């Protein structure tokens, strides 16, 4: 069974923990990536974490996930969630089970954040849980792909 999941973060998420803590909290992108790696390891999975401020590079990451036969994708495409048909099309094309995450509750914010193109290509969406949404997304993704939690001490 494929064991790698891609965790993709889009534009400005490299700023996590440095600005707007009232909206995005105090945790940094490094904290998010560590949380994802630890959570993935609990299911015998490896989280390959990428961030880009460029739409095309995010498309390339999705293609790479397909080429490397990744088991799943967790994606927070940031502002591109609300604008990018290209990211929607890439996710739809590769048919890798994907979960969309947003740190903030996009439905409690401006109306232009209420629609997500990437959500339409994901099997689930989480928002408003802060960075814990990434942990919850990996738990849900693991269940979807049949990766079982492994006992402490037995992790790779
Ligand atoms: O809530 C989320 O995770 C978002 O995807 C974050 C995006 C926003 O455009 C989406 O509507 C919701 C923006 C990411 C900006 O990240 C920053 C983090 C810290 C400081 C400033 C921006």
CATH number of the domain bearing residue 51: 3.40.50.9100
Assess if residue 151 is contained within a domain. no
For the Cβ of 19 lying below 6 angstroms from any atom of ligand 1, the answer is: yes
In a domain, 64, yes or no: yes
Cβ of 116 below 6 Å from ligand 1: no
The domain containing residue 77 runs over which residues? 4-145
Q: What is the pTM (predicted TM-score) of this model?
A: 0.96
Is 68 a member of any domain? yes
Q: What is the pLDDT of residue 156?
A: 54
| Catalytic residue from among 6, 24, 80, 134 | 24
Averaged over successive runs of 10 residues, the pLDDT of the chain (156 residues) comes to: 94 96 96 98 98 98 98 98 98 98 98 98 98 98 96 63
- Name which of 54, 119, 112 is nearest 81 in CA terms: 119
- Determine, yes or no, domain membership for 155: no
| The one catalytic residue among 6, 80, 88, 102 | 102
How many domains are contained in the chain? Answer: 1
**Residue-wise pLDDT tens digits, 75-84:** 999 999 999 9
Handedness of CA 143, 146, 151, 155 (dihedral sign): negative
In a domain, 79, yes or no: yes
Rounded to the nearest angstrom, the distance between the alpha carbon of 146 and the centre of ligand 1 is 30
**62-104 pLDDT tens trace:** 999 999 999 999 999 999 999 999 999 999 999 999 999 999 9
In angstroms, the Cα distances linking 124 to 56, 68, 140 are 23, 22, 8
Q: Is residue 150 part of a domain?
A: no
């Amino acid at each position: 069974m494929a064991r790698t999941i891609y965790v993709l973060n889009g534009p400005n998420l490299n700023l996590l923990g440095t600005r707007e803590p009232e909206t995005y909290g105090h945790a940094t992108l490094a904290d998010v990536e560590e949380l994802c790696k630890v959570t993935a390891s609990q299911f015998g999975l490896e989280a390959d974490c990428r961030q880009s401020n460029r739409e095309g590079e995010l498309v390339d990451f999705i293609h790479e996930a397909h080429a490397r036969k990744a088991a799943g994708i967790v994606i927070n495409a940031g502002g591109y969630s609300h604008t990018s048909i290209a990211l929607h099309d890439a996710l739809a094309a590769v048919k890798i089970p994907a979960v969309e995450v947003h740190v903030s509750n996009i439905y409690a914010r401006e109306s232009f954040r209420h629609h997500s193109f990437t959500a339409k290509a994901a099997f689930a969406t989480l928002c408003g849980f802060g960075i814990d949404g990434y942990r919850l997304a990996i738990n849900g993704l693991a269940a979807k792909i049949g990766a079982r939690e492994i006992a402490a001490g037995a992790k790779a």
